[in-house]
Structure 1
């Protein structure tokens, strides 16, 4: 839509501010109407507008009332609310109620222009090019903003999952493709897709919560692709992978000479995502000092590059994700409560794989298609017993673990047929023991026993073939496990072999004491780290999660103990 055709309603009881907003928006070519009270705004809203800019506090009510009435009536106007400085709760409440965005007083005029322009992006071209009268109701009067939603409107909002997840007509093909990449037609995944399609069109921050390996980044990309910012950049940041001393420069940029080695100006993640979306993955790994600086950037919508005295306005939408329970982190003092409420305006929960096992056939087919380059087979056939054996697993690693299992099964298959026997030698990884003397574990159940104990109605009663193009190279074989060696006071040095201390014939009091305690502890820590890395195929992020560490902590330990981090470098 052309900016000169956009109609904007400004609602504010302060004449000076109202006039300032009007003049600023009129200079941008918009058609502007104004109101002083909620009652006047309701009268004005008998006509159609494109954007409603309203203060939260008005003489005869709250601007939130107008927002809720617009939502209940199914009106297309995008609402921007103006909140008092420091009223984070009001801003969060407005965004959750359906506001497109918010502005904090005192309002920067450049920020006002940016937010209004963003609100107008992607609006349907069929909206009124001027302030036109709304279509009449059954009694011949204009449709008032406070008219209640009809049963048909409520039924449309609760339509089937497949229909609810469809992108709006003005969305691009990339948005629909992003939703298709979220494989699965289970009710849980349909609910996720429907929520993505609903929340993508606002500027409200979105927090994605789910276990490791559930596909949080795919969800973030789907939100971005279905938003009016789809044409802008999506900058994905793994907060746990950035050294702490570089966080500020990486996020906010740095000026030439700001630190040793800064030979030129560099932009940060906020500047790189201008006009688009900034995705902060593993936000729970940020240290408290950086959380404070991030909170200010979100509140003020501006950043100060390292070494600069001037702040720069930024126009980004924030999406965050973590596998941690941030509410629990707040209670334990490891995450700022005010930042949590700023980020968690809209929450998207991604279900673990064990809660949507009916998606297994679709996931297997999609993953095998991606693994085709490593298979060496023209077609990969999947037997029903293979799927039934998969369905008995709990999948603590979720879709990432499923991909690992399929990669291994294809590599070990000799005829391109995946059978349950391919999973017999692969039992789910057991937790790494915390004590130095582990108890013996029972032998893993066979695939046949797992199938025998599975529910009768599994949904996988037939086998099917997945046609895969001829691959170029076979997958690397999985290395055999290295047997654990007994540790003694003389041999418990960090030599690289995984060591487990056993004392079957003596009590704990009779256990010989190590002559070098630090070397003995290093050997135990090294053995546990190696076991964890092997269990997740040397994925350091997954190994850290398995041991309750963050990425920086496990990297420090790997470097200190000189542990190889590549599969082909194992001892």
Structure 2
């Protein structure tokens, strides 16, 4: 069993003794130093797996030591002990590169959580592979994607809140997931929530949980997202969509590391790392008064910008092949390949929808191409989107069905209505060919692959 060593830096003997006893009981060897100069010497000689430093020291402050460690022993995570309630100092230490912080008076359960998380950084990590169902945002050889991967690796070693900025569809959630998987919380849960998709009246319950009977419909106790993410990472996507009232409560939960379920009188401690993202310009929203400045500074300790796809055209071929392989596996077909002119057409395209749009383009082209090859004309770039898999005969059949169908009065779900008509056309073709899919596809004027795609998409398999 590997024995870890921690360096404790504090000029107060009582604090050093308390921390030393706590860490020794955890099975950790300890070194102690009363000032920065002696701490530097011990760091160089022993290379400990963790450093705990007070903020106020006789020959400088804790942030000075954080900067020195970043330059000379960057593999040693350092946590700063700050005065109670001094969030400005805590945030400054995180910006300087501190792993985390703990406030005085030191709460021992919180200290133990911090120490255990920090020591996991010295454990060997399994090699990360992008899952087959991921779009593959971090694939690529461009300078932009290499820089992003390096930043993700560095940020994974910290517990600082990270704000991930980038356009819609650029893969902000995948970046957040990679930060989680490469950090000490990788064995804990990763909980992603779209803040704009939660009704405002349910938001507090969704985030913080509720007690049974606390309001109409609360038939059971509910943990909420914060407690579900305990020990792991909570990713707040589209955080700019939070209403002001919820921003206040979110700020308190992040600062206090505790939540109060609806209907409860007690706060419940939570140990989570918060990552957030939005495609909107948060500084502009702060200026407009629709996003709280104090929350902005709290979640934006470190900003990570995800480059749009159009800024890394050299990665498009690699990304496209990865996506096409995933689509082929999903629909149990032979993979399609892009012709050179198709690749050039993709490189010249602006991709306002980024990686998500590339996926949609390729999924559509996959169902329309012939002989497992996607040419530039199959991409339909710059044209109105064509529903994947529908040929001329199928379109005529659907048109006839639509003409014969009764359109409901009032508001209708157009997408669902059209899907129903499409299902009817496919069912007729299958019945007419005694469920021979090859013959049904020919009758509909589409490829066999396109029919399989539609059957899966419409849940008709």
**TM-score, normalised to structure 1's length?**
0.65
Encode CA deviations 1:187-239: one digit per residue, 9 max, x unaligned: 11111111111211221222211101111111111111111211111111111
Name the SS for the 2:88 alignment partner: helix
- Indicate yes or no: 2:34 matched with 1:36: yes
Q: Distance in 2 between matches of 1:175 and 1:58?
A: 44
1:568 to 411, 414, 419: 419
Q: Give the drift of 1:426.
A: 4.3
Equivalent position SS for 1:395? coil
**Contact 1:71–1:98 at 8 Å: present in 2 too?**
yes
Q: Is contact 2:137–2:355 with CA below 8 Å preserved after alignment?
A: no
Q: Map 1:305-454; keep pairs closer than 5 Å.
A: 305-372=261-328, 378-423=334-379, 426-427=382-383
For 2:175 and 2:67, the matched residues in 1 are separated by 28
Partner of 1:230: 186
SS in 2 for 1:222: helix
Q: Which residue of 2 aligns with 1:105?
A: 104
**How many residues are treated as equivalent by the alignment?**
406
For 1:260 and 1:351, the matched residues in 2 are separated by: 45
Deviations 1:386-408 (A, max 9, x none): 22222222111111112222222
Return the offset for 1:277: 1.2
SS of equivalent to 1:319 = strand
Q: Secondary structure at the match of 1:121?
A: helix
**CA 1:402 to 1:11, structure 2 compared with 1: closer, same or farther past 3 Å?**
same
Cα deviation for residue 115 of structure 1 reads: 0.9
State yes or no: 1:62 paired with 2:61: yes
Q: Which residue of 1 aligns with 2:390?
A: 477
- Aligned partner of 2:127 among 167, 170, 173: 173
What SS class does the counterpart of residue 174 from structure 1 fall into? coil
Using the alignment, how far apart are the partners of 2:223 and 2:97 within structure 1?
A: 32
Query: Compared with structure 1, are the counterparts of its residues 43 and 193 closer, same or farther at alpha carbon in structure 2 (3 Å cutoff)?
Result: closer
C-alpha distance in 2 between matches for 1:175 and 1:407: 23
Q: Which residue of 2 aligns with 1:188?
A: 144
* 1:375–1:475 CA contact under 8 A, matched in 2: no
Confirm or deny: 8 A CA contact 1:374 1:475 kept in the other structure: no
- How far apart are residue 365 of structure 1 and its match? 1.0
Q: CA RMSD in A?
A: 3.1
Question: How many angstroms does 1:410 deviate by?
Answer: 2.5
* Secondary structure in 1 matching 2:105: coil
Closer/same/farther in 2, CA of residues 390 and 28 from structure 1, 3 Å limit: closer
**Aligned residue number for residue 20 of structure 1:** 18
**Does the CA-based 8 Å contact 1:96-1:345 persist in structure 2?**
yes
CA distance in 2, matches of 1:198, 1:174: 15
Check whether the contact 1:175–1:226 (CA below 8 A) recurs between aligned residues.
no
CA-to-aligned-CA distance 1:427-481 (integer Å, 9 cap, x gap): 378xxxxxxxxxxxxxxxxxxxxxxxxxxxxxxxxxxxxxxxxxxxx9543998x
Distance (Å, rounded) in 1 between the aligned partners of 2:75 and 2:338: 48
> 1:56-97: per-residue Cα shift (whole Å, max 9, x none)?
122331111111112211353221101223333322221122
- Looking at structure 1, the residues matched to 371 and 173 of structure 2 have their Cα atoms a distance apart, in angstroms, of 35
Q: Distance in 1 between matches of 2:319 and 2:353?
A: 14
The answer to whether structure 1 residue 244 and structure 2 residue 242 are counterparts is no
Q: Is the 8 A contact 2:6 2:51 kept in 1?
A: yes
Q: Gaps spanning 5+ residues in structure 1: where? A: 125-169, 430-473, 481-493, 497-560
Once structures 1 and 2 are overlaid, which stretch shifts more, 177-186 or 215-224?
177-186
- For 2:259 and 2:381, the matched residues in 1 are separated by 53
Call closer, same or farther: CA 1:30–1:419 in 2, change over 3 Å: closer
Residue number among 259, 264, 283 corresponding to 2:220 in the alignment: 264
8 Å Cα contact 1:179-1:222 kept in structure 2: no
Give the Cα separation in 2 of the matches to 1:88 and 1:336.
16
Match of 1:119 in 2: 118
8 Å Cα contact 1:175-1:225 kept in structure 2? no
* 2:5 is the alignment partner of 1:7: yes
CA-CA distance at 1:38 after TM superposition = 2.7
The structure with more radius of gyration: 1
3-state SS in 2 of match to 1:235: strand
Distance (whole Å) between structure 1 residues aligned to residue 43 and residue 93 of structure 2: 19
**By how many angstroms is 1:319 displaced?**
1.4
Q: Any idea what SS the aligned residue of 1:318 has?
A: strand
| Other structure's SS at 2:234 match | strand
Matches of 1:180 and 1:392 in 2, distance apart? Answer: 20
Per-residue deviation, 1:384: 1.9
In the other structure, the counterpart of 2:442 is: none
For each residue in 1:510-567, what CA deviation from the matched residue of structure 2 results, as whole angstroms up to 9, or x when unmatched?
xxxxxxxxxxxxxxxxxxxxxxxxxxxxxxxxxxxxxxxxxxxxxxxxxxx6554545
Alignment of 1:458-537 (within 5 A): 476-477=389-390
SS at match of 2:138: coil
**Paired residues for 1:149-228 under 5 Å:** 170-174=124-128, 182-228=138-184
